[in-house]
Amino acid sequence: MHMHLHLGDMNITSALIAGLALSLAVGPLGCFVVWRRMAYFGDGLSHSALLGVAMGLVFGISDQLGMVLIGILFALSLMWLRAQRLLATDTLLGLLAHATLAFGILAMTFLGADEIDVHDYLLGSLESISSTLAIWVIGGSAACVLVLMRLWPSLVLMTTSEELAHAEGVPVARYEFILMMMMGLIVAVSVQIVGILLITSLLIIPASTSRLFSNSPETMGFGAAIAAALCILTGVPLAGAAELPAGPTIVSLSVCLFILTLIVAISRRTFSRRKISQ
């Protein structure tokens, strides 16, 4: 049962402020998810969020802190298992993702249905967005933006060529772990806005949209942030007014924007080719 929320409601206001802050982080961070093909890792990380929520309930800590801790454990487990070179990375991701999802569902079942509304975490819920959650989102997004600004040249270099990055003294393994931690933080703070099932979409779709028109890593990161902000700031009021789940509304708008951008990009390329052939 959804409440009818209006633009002036505190939940909507908190969601808009949090969404604007979130877009500044998911835009540039999503570029690295696309460039380094980390989308499957993002899906696995989001699946582990349910276990983080259960952990928060068991130990009496906030949901966000529980998800951050589980995210760290997820990334460390992946890096350790990958170093053993026994199974392919995608196999390890699938194993960890489904294991944490299964344990998370079991844990929340044992805790009782009255303790938590799983639907809100799966698809996002504007009703659950408080000023406290908005502070978490703003703080987590600001931390990611600051780290990205500080490490941007090195992260771009290691994405272009890990061998060259090693030669330049860039600690590739450490920076890859930092990228994973930033993804974990974003998942933790944004789950109640976008939902566990769709959070990875917010990382890859705006970045993919921006990529169609960008000619440098910086312009792609900036464009992705603009695309994410546009969809979140439009999707949140729309979801509140139409009593729709927040996550699917925001992601659907993101997909529509991507399709429109793709059509324009293809049309421009076709026109340019015809002009050259003449």
The mean pLDDT of 213-224, rounded to a whole number, is: 95
pLDDT higher than threshold 50 for residue 70: yes
Task: Give yes or no for a contact between 26 and 229, defined as CB atoms under 8 angstroms apart.
Answer: no
**Is residue 104 situated within a structural domain?**
yes
Q: Give residue 62's pLDDT.
A: 87
Q: What is the pLDDT of residues 11-55, one digit of tens each?
A: 788 888 999 999 999 999 999 999 999 988 999 999 999 899 888
**Is residue 3 situated within a structural domain?**
no
**Is residue 5 situated within a structural domain?**
no
pLDDT higher than threshold 60 for residue 65: yes
pTM above 0.85, yes or no: yes
Q: Give residue 95's pLDDT.
A: 94
Per the model's pLDDT, the better-predicted residue between 151 and 123 turns out to be 151
**Is residue 4 situated within a structural domain?**
no
Q: Give residue 277's pLDDT.
A: 67
**Is residue 159 situated within a structural domain?**
yes
Q: Give residue 152's pLDDT.
A: 97
Q: What is the pLDDT of residues 99-150, one digit of tens each?
A: 999 998 888 888 765 556 777 788 887 777 788 888 999 999 999 999 999 9
Residue 56's domain spans which residues?
10-277
Q: What is the pLDDT of residues 84-98, one digit of tens each?
A: 988 998 999 999 999
Q: How many structural domains is the chain composed of?
A: 1
**Is residue 2 situated within a structural domain?**
no
The mean pLDDT of 246-268, rounded to a whole number, is: 94
Local confidence band at 2 (pLDDT 50, 70, 90 cut-offs): very low
**Is residue 37 situated within a structural domain?**
yes
Q: Give residue 126's pLDDT.
A: 76
Task: Give yes or no for a contact between 12 and 236, defined as CB atoms under 8 angstroms apart.
Answer: yes
Q: Average pLDDT, whole number, for the chain?
A: 88
We report the CATH number of the domain holding residue 140 as: 1.10.3470.10
* Residue 41 structure tokens: 């890792």
**Is residue 164 situated within a structural domain?**
yes
Local confidence band at 9 (pLDDT 50, 70, 90 cut-offs): low
pLDDT higher than threshold 90 for residue 272: no
Local confidence band at 248 (pLDDT 50, 70, 90 cut-offs): very high
> DSSP labels for the chain?
------TTSHHHHHHHHHHHHHHHHHHHHHHHHHHTT-HHHHHHHHHHHHHHHHHHHHHT--HHHHHHHHHHHHHHHHHHHHHHTSS-HHHHHHHHHHHHHHHHHHHHHHH-GGG--HHHHHH--GGG--HHHHHHHHHHHHHHHHHHHHHHHHHHHHHH-HHHHHHTT--HHHHHHHHHHHHHHHHHHHHHHH-TTTHHHHHHHHHHHHHTT-SSHHHHHHHHHHHHHHHHHHHHHHHHHHT--HHHHHHHHHHHHHHHHHHHHHHHHHHHHHHHH-
Spell out a b/e string for 137-150, using b for 16 or more CB atoms within 10 Å of the CB, else e: bbebbebbbebbee
Local confidence band at 1 (pLDDT 50, 70, 90 cut-offs): very low
